[in-house]
Chains A and B, each alone.
Chain A
Amino acid sequence: KQEVTQIPAALSVPEGENLVLNCSFTDSAIYNLQWFRQDPGKGLTSLLLIQSSQREQTSGRLNASLDKSSGRSTLYIAASQPGDSATYLCAVRPRYGNKLVFGAGTILRVKS
């Protein structure tokens, strides 16, 4: 059974810092991995999707990497801003399955 773990559970950093959020999964047979952002009381916003054949994806200040063999993904946020404060969720879609398996999320607070 696929399990997804996110570390740390919460993170507080000063504005301008570069930071890394970690996601690990137990079964390397994945179809893709997706990073989401959720603001309080809101739905999820898709940030980046990495296919199983890819190593990384970039969008603006965000870079997500995928190491399937070790069961890890990282989300790198450059030059963090207070507006980046949110919960970040990692989700894996198994290779033979239709359902995303979510991690518990990392609550990020960027202080101005």
Chain B
Amino acid sequence: GAVVSQHPSRVICKSGTSVKIECRSLDFQATTMFWYRQFPKKSLMLMATSNEGSKATYEQGVEKDKFLINHASLTLSTLTVTSAHPEDSSFYICSARGLVDMSDTQYFGPGTRLTVL
């Protein structure tokens, strides 16, 4: 199957700083990328959807100025958590969808554990 990578896998930062998380589709072109947040023992919560070259569409209740998403190319999307606070600590997972093996499978990255002190 196709591979989606995320970097970093784990990050610890101080309150008030900004953190950037990268998501890459390694062997396919991702026409659409998704960013999710997952709380302990909970399912995934979709934060935003982005298409290459256009602005991201945010889910209700997600602050677009706090969670900046850039989908600059067909293989790269970034999520920047601006002025992070402890309540932003979470597991962030990106996902990518493109035409792979003639299917419309959505592939997920390994996740990034963000801890804000």
Judging by beta carbons under 8 Å apart, are B108 and A99 in contact? no
| A-contacting residues, B38-75, CB 8 Å | 42-44, 46, 49
Chain A contact patch, size range: 20 to 34
Total interface residues on B, CB under 8 Å, equals 23
Return chain A residues, CB-CB under 8 Å to B6.
43
Given contacts A43-B111, A46-B1, contact A99 B34 (CB under 8 A): yes
Decide if A89 is an interface residue (CB 8 Å cutoff). Answer: yes
Given contacts A32-B104, A34-B105, contact A98 B110 (CB under 8 A): no
How far, in Å, is B27 (CB) from chain A's closest CB? 14
Given contacts A41-B113, A49-B103, contact A89 B43 (CB under 8 A): yes
Judging by beta carbons under 8 Å apart, are A49 and B105 in contact? yes
How far, in Å, is A105 (CB) from chain B's closest CB? 6
* A-B residue pairs in contact (CB < 8 Å), sample of 30: A31-B104, A32-B104, A34-B105, A34-B106, A41-B111, A41-B113, A42-B110, A43-B6, A43-B93, A43-B108, A43-B110, A44-B95, A45-B108, A46-B1, A46-B105, A46-B107, A46-B108, A49-B103, A51-B103, A98-B32, A98-B49, A99-B46, A99-B49, A100-B34, A100-B46, A100-B106, A102-B43, A102-B44, A104-B42, A105-B43
Judging by beta carbons under 8 Å apart, are A46 and B44 in contact? no
Interface string of A82-105 (1 = CB under 8 A from B): 000000010101000011101111
Return chain B residues, CB-CB under 8 Å to A99.
34, 46, 49
Given contacts A41-B111, A43-B109, A99-B49, contact A49 B104 (CB under 8 A): yes
A93 to B111, CA, bound (A): 21
Decide if A36 is an interface residue (CB 8 Å cutoff). Answer: yes
Nearest residue (CB) in A for B91 is A41
A103 to B42, CA, bound (A): 10
How far, in Å, is A59 (CB) from chain B's closest CB? 10
Nearest residue (CB) in B for A48 is B105
How far, in Å, is B99 (CB) from chain A's closest CB? 13
A105 to B41, CA, bound (A): 10
